[in-house]
Amino acid sequence: MIKYVPQMTSVVLEEIPDKLALALDISNCQGQCEGCHSPFLRDDVGEELTPAAIDRLFADNFGVNCFLLLGEGRDKAALESVARYVRKTHPSVSLALYSGRESVEDELFSIFDYVKVGPYMPSKGPLNNRETNQRLYHVLKDGTKEDITSAFWHRGIDPNVKK
């Protein structure tokens, strides 16, 4: 079962380049990132992300063109089922996954259009820091993984530029 926290669901512009993403915080996080902004997501909280919940989220958020899961929970089969349901019922919507793991299984790259990997490390910063350990990949139609992390760098502070 995959659970999300409805109160934290939002439409975001900054997480996936050129996408208006419906972002859902997923609980039962596998990570233990130092400096985590939402440590309560490590717990089993929220509501089950069912097909009915997904349909309601799309009905309430007209115009989104990306479905973004912020976390993957602990049930890989349920995660894949959610992604396949979205793909089937909303074929024009991109699917994105933010994982805090160093890497994810190839199956996840075959299901999602965008996959972010890497735990948050305060010393390395988020995606908009050129020194980040995190990477955002765009999975192309032929299965090639294109690293698009640099798309965020104009939004951050360049540590190589002296003031």
Residue 163 domain flag: no
Residue 112 domain flag: yes
Residue 113 domain flag: yes
Residue 23 domain flag: yes
Alpha helices in 31-132 (DSSP H): 51-60, 76-89, 106-111
pLDDT digits (tens, 9 = 90+) for 17-34: 999 999 999 998 887 777
Backbone angles phi, psi at 48, to 5 degrees: -65, 135
Q: How many domains is the chain built from?
A: 1
Residue 34 domain flag: yes
Query: What distance in Å separates the CA atoms of residue 98 and residue 93, rounded to the nearest whole number?
Result: 16
Other beta carbons within 10 angstroms of residue 150's beta carbon come to: 10
Residue 160 domain flag: no
pLDDT digits (tens, 9 = 90+) for 107-157: 999 999 999 999 999 999 899 999 999 999 999 999 999 999 999 988 655
DSSP for residue 152: G
Residue 10 domain flag: yes
Residue 111 domain flag: yes
The residue ranges of DSSP E strands in the chain, in sequence order, are 3-4, 10-12, 21-25, 47-48, 66-70, 94-98, 114-117, 135-139, 145-147
Q: Which domain holds residue 147?
A: 3-155
